[in-house]
Structure 1
Amino acid sequence: MNRIAHIRTRLAAIAAALLITAGAAGSAAALGDRAPGTARGQREAAALTGTAKLYRPAGDDITFTFDAHLAAKDTMDPEQAYGTFRFRHVFPNGTSGWAEGSVDCLVTGGKVAVVTGVVTATDIGIKGKRVGMSVHDLGSHDRLGYSWLNQEAEDHLPPCMSSAPFEKVQAGTGDFTVLPWHPEYEQRS
C-alpha cells in the first residue's frame, strides 16, 4: 500500500471513530435527562450529579460524590428521590473517614441543590443516620455545604434539610451538575 492510500485509510478510520463517538454521545445526551419511570421526551424532575474535592489549605483531602435523581412522575414529592452519595475525608496525618448512603430527598432551585440521605456504610459511626448536603453549581467554582449530627446526638435531621453551601471546591474539581426542579402547582381560578 502506498503512502497516500495508507493516509486515506487512516483518515477514514478516524472519521468513522468520530462518527461513532458522536452518535454515542448524542444518544447519551438524548437519554441523559430521563430517569427510570420517565416518559420519552420528558426530563426528570430534578437531579444532582458529580464529584468534587473541597479546598483545604491544610492538606485535607475531602471528596463528595452525588448521583441523586427525582423522576418526573414524582415532581411534587421530593421525598421520592433516589440515588447515592459518598464522602471521604483524609486528614493530613493520614487518618481518614468515609460514608456512603441512599438518597431520600432532593430539592433543587436554579443551580442550588439540597439532598439528604441515610448512611448505609461508614467507618465513622454514623450508620443509619440521615445527613444533609447542599451544592451550588457554579461551573468550576462549585460550593458545598453539609449538616449531620454526631453519633451521640439524639435528634434527627429532617429530610431535605442542610446548611448553605459554605465550602469552596478545589480548583479544577468542581463538576457538580444541578438540574432545576419546577414544581407543578394547581392553578386557582
Structure 2
Amino acid sequence: MTDTKKLWGRRGIAGLAATLALITGTATASFAGTASSDPGPRLSGSAGGKLPKTFGPWAGDPVKFQIEARGGPGTTKGTFKVFHGKGRTGGVVAEFEGKITCLLVGGEVAVATGVITRGYTNLTDEKNADVTGQKVSFTVHDNGRSDRLYWMWGFMNAPINDCQGTAPILKTSHGDFKVHD
C-alpha cells in the first residue's frame, strides 16, 4: 500500500469516527435537551368569578384563585393565592397564600393541595382569624376559556389529605388555568 493510500485510509477512518461521534453527541444532547425542557405535570394561571346561589350567605361574592405548581406527588413545588371578597359591602371574607405540596394531573384535570403560609378569614364570628398552617385543596378542570374549579379549606373543618380533590363545580367567568400532564 502506498503512503498516499495509507494517509487517506487513516483520514477516512478518523473522519468517519469524528462524524459518528458528532452524530452520537448531537443525538444525545438533543434527547437530553428534550428531557430537561419538559417540566412534567403542571398547573398554572388565575381565574375567578362570583359564587352561585348554592353558596348561601356568600352567593354573589367575588372569588379569585392564582395557582402555579409543577411536579408530581413527592416532587411538587409551587404557590397559591386566594381572595374572597364580600359582594355587597366590598369587604374581605378571606385572603391567604401558601405553598403547594402535592400536584396530581390527569388529562385536563389537576388536583393541588397545599398549606397556607400567610392569611386570614372573616368566615366566622372571629374577625381576621389567622389561618396560617391550615391545609387547602384545589381541583381545576382546564376547559379552554371556561374553566371549572372547586376547593376545600382545612379551616372549615374539611379533612384534607395530599392530592385529595373534589368535583370542580364552579364555572369561572374570568381568567384561565392551564393544566399539562
TM-score > 0.5 by shorter chain: yes
Q: Following the alignment from structure 2 to structure 1, what is the Cα–Cα distance between the partners of residues 68 and 91?
A: 26
* Residues 1:60 and 2:53 are matched in the alignment: no
Q: Could you say which residue in structure 2 is the equivalent of 1:95?
A: 91
The structure 2 residue matched to 1:140, chosen from 125, 142, 145, is 145
Q: Could you say which residue in structure 1 is the equivalent of 2:33?
A: 40
Q: Following the alignment from structure 2 to structure 1, what is the Cα–Cα distance between the partners of residues 100 and 141?
A: 18
> What is the letter of the counterpart of residue 128 of structure 1?
G
Mapping for residues 93-172 of structure 1, pairs under 5 Å: 93-96=89-92, 97-124=94-121, 125-150=130-155, 153=157, 156-170=159-173
Q: Percent identity?
A: 36
Q: Could you say which residue in structure 2 is the equivalent of 1:35?
A: none
Does the 8 A contact of 2:113 with 2:163 survive in 1? Answer: yes
Q: Following the alignment from structure 2 to structure 1, what is the Cα–Cα distance between the partners of residues 80 and 108?
A: 18
DSSP 3-state at the match of 2:164: coil
Deviations 1:55-74 (A, max 9, x none): 3365422100011011xxxx
Q: Following the alignment from structure 1 to structure 2, what is the Cα–Cα distance between the partners of residues 135 and 84?
A: 15
DSSP 3-state at the match of 1:163: coil
Taking structure 1 as the reference length, the TM-score comes to 0.65
- Offset of residue 156 of structure 1: 4.4
Q: Could you say which residue in structure 2 is the equivalent of 1:36?
A: none
Higher gyration radius (CA): 2
DSSP 3-state at the match of 1:140: coil
Does the 8 A contact of 1:55 with 1:168 survive in 2? Answer: no
Q: Could you say which residue in structure 2 is the equivalent of 1:69?
A: 70
Q: Following the alignment from structure 2 to structure 1, what is the Cα–Cα distance between the partners of residues 165 and 39?
A: 23
Query: Which 5+ residue runs of structure 1 have no aligned equivalent?
Result: 1-38, 71-76, 181-189
Does the 8 A contact of 1:107 with 1:160 survive in 2? Answer: yes
The structure 2 residue matched to 1:50, chosen from 39, 45, 49, is 45
- Offset of residue 145 of structure 1: 0.8
> What is the letter of the counterpart of residue 166 of structure 2?
S
> What is the letter of the counterpart of residue 165 of structure 1?
P
User: Is the deviation greater in 58-67 or in 84-93?
Assistant: 58-67
Over aligned residues, Cα RMSD in angstroms?
Answer: 1.8
Q: Following the alignment from structure 2 to structure 1, what is the Cα–Cα distance between the partners of residues 163 and 97?
A: 17
> What is the letter of the counterpart of residue 161 of structure 1?
Q
Q: Following the alignment from structure 2 to structure 1, what is the Cα–Cα distance between the partners of residues 170 and 74?
A: 25
Query: Which 5+ residue runs of structure 2 have no aligned equivalent?
Result: 1-31, 53-58, 122-129
> What is the letter of the counterpart of residue 162 of structure 2?
P
Does the 8 A contact of 1:79 with 1:159 survive in 2? Answer: no
DSSP 3-state at the match of 2:145: helix
User: Which 4+ stretches in 1 moved above 2 angstroms?
Assistant: 54-59
